A and B are shown apart, each in its own frame.
Chain A
Amino acid sequence: MSLLIATTLDDALAALAAGARPIAGGTDLVVGARHGKAPLPASLVAIDRIESLRTVGRSADGGLVIGAGVSHHTIETDSTIGAEWSALADASALVGSPATRHVGTLGGNVMNGSPAMDTGAPLVVFGAEAELASGSGSRRVDMATLWVGPGRTSAAADELCVAIHLPARAPRSGSAYLRLEYRRAMEIAVVGAAASVTLTADGAVDSVRVALTAVAATIVEVTGLTGGSVADVAAAAEAAAADQATPISDLRASDRYRRHCIGVMARRAVEAAARRASGETIAIPVNRAVGIGMAAGAAS
């Protein structure tokens, strides 16, 4: 096996065009190879030292551009992301362990394409786009068209995800990501839900988006939700999420249990997002604040 440690994007893209595969923290690729899921590629290009992929910055319209090489640790502790794109910080804070979060990246999580990825549902409810670059230029693709199946994306082999673009947040907006988990670290979502809510001046829901984790072949968005009182929208999200989910049974949960719990997670995500939209601070990750993964009675 050969490894190129790239320090510039051009070098990395040239290596990809020549057939190399990218590696950042290796938390999916190397672990997967050790599991026997897929052997390590014969040629790898390490992209974790390309500084331009490791920055977080405002876009001209007030949105955010997060480099694909930004770690989950950076996302969970970034004050701007925590305040305005809270659901993404909720998600990154739940990934793996401190070690996983230090080397694991947003781009890696997105491009690995797992239907159980934690950052995916938040990105969908924010209307995010992935920027894919190759030697012949770059393009931006909507999350819904990026993921085409478990572990599969619409990116070509010579394209590298270089950034995630998040549109600006509207006033009176809030978001949250919750997942059902059986333990508090090194866990994969049993099911998860992200919600983004924008309130009217009198505190009703003006608009809402909800996306679901680990209940279909890819991250999926709930359709048919409209505004109304927070309680009505939360109840509608619960019913719609359970109705639209197409979960499988595996060693972590049965399809029936997943279908029930995805409704509960969707309702709680809408409720937490609405609380944040109203100006309330709920600590990152919201999972702990609502008592998921806490000892009985320990939730604050």
Chain B
Amino acid sequence: MSESIDRDLTLSVNGIAYPVSVDTSRNLLSVIRTEIGLTGTKEGCDDCECGACMVLLDGQPVNSCSYLAAQAVGREITTIEGVMDGQELHPLQRNLLEEGGVQCGFCTPGMIMSATALLARTPSPSDEEIRIGLSGNLCRCTGYAKIIAAVRRTADES
């Protein structure tokens, strides 16, 4: 059934349904951060270039700064807050720490969301596939070598 949305909509984020009342021109990033209060997803360039705002929509990576929140109705949204298993770090989180792939950390949530989607689709990626999988995510301080090493290690462990 086609569905008309004016203000009231419900978003499913990390398995929890959040009813919100927002202008339908609002982007998904701003609704996740300021209405729902999950601030792990970052606003970087706010221009669909840097990937800091990456979330998963039905398992696929999306730049949430440039995606309408209303278009995510009925889809499952996964943010960085949804990747841990209880108090256990996700293997990507653990390996980014152990490989030194986190410096300021601002790009890290987006990197992890892109890498999660990559590994779900390609469990044993080549280094080239890792680079392509992370190609929509910019890092301005750590550099990419240690981030790629952390994804490599995560793939090799599983």
Contact = CB atoms under 8 A, between A and B. Distances in A.
Judge: A and B partners, yes or no: yes
Contact of A26 (B23, B46, B67, B136): B67
Given A5-B73, A26-B71, A31-B66, A97 B135 contact: yes
Interface range for B: 35 or more
B103 interface: no
Contact of B133 (A25, A96, A98): A98
Contacts of B132: 98, 185
Contacts, number: 101
A99 B71 contact: no
Interface string B102-136: 00000000000010011000000000000011011
Contacts of A46: 70-71
B67 A184 contact: no
Interface string A173-185: 0000000000011
A3 B71 contact: yes
B4 A27 contact: no
Given A98-B118, A185-B136, A34 B47 contact: yes
Contacts of B27: 30, 34
Given A4-B2, A99-B136, A186 B49 contact: yes
Contacts of A8: 2
Contacts of A6: 2
A190 to B, nearest CB: 17
A2 B5 contact: yes
Interface in A79-122: 96-100, 102-103
A30 B68 contact: yes
A11 interface: yes
B71 A4 contact: no
Contacts of A7: 1-3
Interface in B4-19: 4-6
Given A11-B2, A184-B135, A2 B24 contact: yes
B70 A3 contact: yes
A289 interface: no
A162 B128 CA distance: 35
Most chain A CB inside 10 Å of its own CB: which residue of B1, B25, B118: B25
A6 B3 CA distance: 7
Interface in B35-90: 46-49, 51, 54, 57, 60-63, 65-68, 70-71, 73-74
A40 B49 CA distance: 20
Contacts of A44: 24, 68
Contacts of A97: 51, 135-137
A33 B47 CA distance: 10
B135 A185 contact: yes
A99 B63 contact: yes
Interface in A146-167: none
A34 B66 contact: yes
B62 A103 contact: yes
Contact of B47 (A23, A31, A96, A185): A31
A33 to B, nearest CB: 8
18 contacts: A2-B24, A3-B4, A3-B71, A4-B3, A5-B4, A5-B74, A8-B2, A34-B47, A34-B66, A35-B47, A97-B51, A97-B136, A98-B61, A100-B136, A103-B67, A185-B132, A186-B135, A186-B136
Interface of B: 1-6, 23-25, 27, 46-49, 51, 54, 57, 60-63, 65-68, 70-71, 73-74, 114, 117-118, 132-133, 135-137
Instruction: Give the 10 A-B CB pairs with smallest separation, nearest first.
Output: A97-B136, A185-B135, A11-B2, A99-B61, A102-B60, A1-B25, A3-B70, A5-B3, A3-B24, A6-B2
